[in-house]
Amino acid sequence: MNLISSFSIQSWERFYRANFINSLTGFKSLSLIGTVNAEGQTNLGVFSSIVHIGSDPALVGYINRPTKAAPHTLANIQATGVYTINHIHPAFLERAHQSSAKYPDQVSEFEEVGLTPEFIENSRAPFVKESRVKYALSLKEIIPITLNNTFLVIGEIQHVKLEDDILMRDGFLSLEKAASVCSNGTDAYYSTQLIDRYEYARPGIAARKLVT
Amino acid sequence: MNLISSFSIQSWERFYRANFINSLTGFKSLSLIGTVNAEGQTNLGVFSSIVHIGSDPALVGYINRPTKAAPHTLANIQATGVYTINHIHPAFLERAHQSSAKYPDQVSEFEEVGLTPEFIENSRAPFVKESRVKYALSLKEIIPITLNNTFLVIGEIQHVKLEDDILMRDGFLSLEKAASVCSNGTDAYYSTQLIDRYEYARPGIAARKLVT
């Protein structure tokens, strides 16, 4: 096996290092975050740093890069207090990837890449119509991470929209049926295959496959 | 499609809600965190909330549940300032799942579930010998999330140990070759299959597959 020190990592060319470090943390949820500014201009960005914070209340976080590098999503969330997170599927993966390009301020990524904004009653932020699993959040807290000028943005789930046939009897969502994509590194996208679900683990009892 | 409100979610039975909310955020990196207490007693826990914070410096975060629910990992990290994150593969998936059981204080999950602690020079925290992709971190900051008494724990990568053949020429790690497992919900584990890598997206240029 290869043993690599932090001194080596620091000496690497920046794209090589970014590829490496972004892969090292493992597979990630890949999602489109939909927002709107105070004037109603829609915005869409790709994020792979969604993290579960808690189920009760239902809190979801994501890491927003320094505001200079990724200004619109966070500014819109601060202005309106709402946003949507939308799963990505192979049918529109290229369009989702393209929405990571740096478009000018007055441009909506929805139009540029060919995805459809979708609105529901009592919710101002645009969903991605093409997505099969999506949810709207209200902003709860923006926590600055001073180590590298990023932000942990935490929202509470307000509305969920999903295809009926992926919701199992115990609340579990069969994301492989929905064909939600996961990612690795900065540019690699994956489909998934269920290995197994396991019963809640208890000391002294061997792990058992869950029969659903 | 099914439209579900926050009022419905709040009314659900707690395990149903946990299954649902933990699936909604999408596929996750699944890892074992290895620690040691001040007396040298090793500890191992399963975490699915690893999140990339930045590449330069190389910062990785994870969400630690309230200290009552998951006391050892965070206490050991606070005591020693170091920990390891280890990818999980199908060959020891059952053992990894079993390490989520609530064992008494004086017990090491390594022994209980049958995984092997592995130490390298100048690094006090135990790796999981069976893991093909693993890294040691030094604690940088513990950020309390007061909304639900969880913590964002941030460390800087100090050492990386991985199989030689998964490191590509551009720094990317082929995690599908390493057979790193990803997870969904609280108990479902998945293998992955690469769809494609794409070139860096630019406005006005259609998304192109990356040829490596």
- A202 vs chain B: nearest CA distance in angstroms? 5
The answer to the question of residue A199 being in a domain is: no
The answer to the question of residue B83 being in a domain is: yes
Best of A11, A51, A170 to substitute, by most chain B Cβ atoms within 10 angstroms, is A51
The answer to the question of residue B38 being in a domain is: yes
Write the CB contacts of B18 (distance below 8 Å, at least 6 apart in sequence). A55, A56, A171, B186
The answer to the question of residue B207 being in a domain is: no
Domain that holds residue A127: 11-190
Per residue in A50-101, pLDDT (tens digit) is: 999 999 999 999 999 987 766 799 999 999 999 999 999 999 999 999 999 9
Q: Residue B69: what pLDDT?
A: 66
Predicted confidence band of residue A105 (pLDDT cuts 50, 70, 90)? confident
Q: Residue A141: what pLDDT?
A: 98
Residue in A closest to B8 by C-alpha: A159
The answer to the question of residue B176 being in a domain is: yes
Per residue in A127-163, pLDDT (tens digit) is: 999 999 999 999 999 999 999 999 999 999 999 999 9
Q: How many domains does chain B have?
A: 1
Contact check, Cβ <8 Å, A172/B135: no
pTM tops 0.90, yes or no: yes
Q: Is the peptide bond before B144 cis (omega within 30 degrees of 0)?
A: no
Q: What tokens appear for A205 in the block?
A: 């009892």
Query: Of the candidates A83, A156, A155, A87, which has an alpha carbon nearest to the alpha carbon of residue A124?
Result: A83
Q: Residue B150: what pLDDT?
A: 96
CA distances from B182 to A184, B29, B89, B123, B142 (A): 11, 5, 9, 27, 25
The answer to the question of residue A72 being in a domain is: yes
The answer to the question of residue A156 being in a domain is: yes
- A84 vs chain B: nearest CA distance in angstroms? 12
Interatomic CA distance for residues A70 and A166, integer angstroms: 33
Return the CATH number at B155.
2.30.110.10
Each residue's pLDDT expressed in tens, for chain B with a length of 212 residues: 999 999 999 999 999 999 999 999 999 999 999 999 999 999 999 999 999 999 999 999 999 998 776 679 999 999 999 999 999 999 999 999 999 999 888 889 999 999 999 999 988 999 999 999 999 999 999 999 999 999 999 999 999 999 999 999 999 999 999 999 999 999 999 999 999 999 999 998 888 999 87
Interatomic CA distance for residues A47 and A31, integer angstroms: 5
Best of B22, B55, B153 to substitute, by most chain A Cβ atoms within 10 angstroms, is B55
Per residue in A49-58, pLDDT (tens digit) is: 999 999 999 9
The answer to the question of residue B32 being in a domain is: yes
Interatomic CA distance for residues A202 and A18, integer angstroms: 39
Q: Which is more confidently placed, B105 or A48?
A: A48
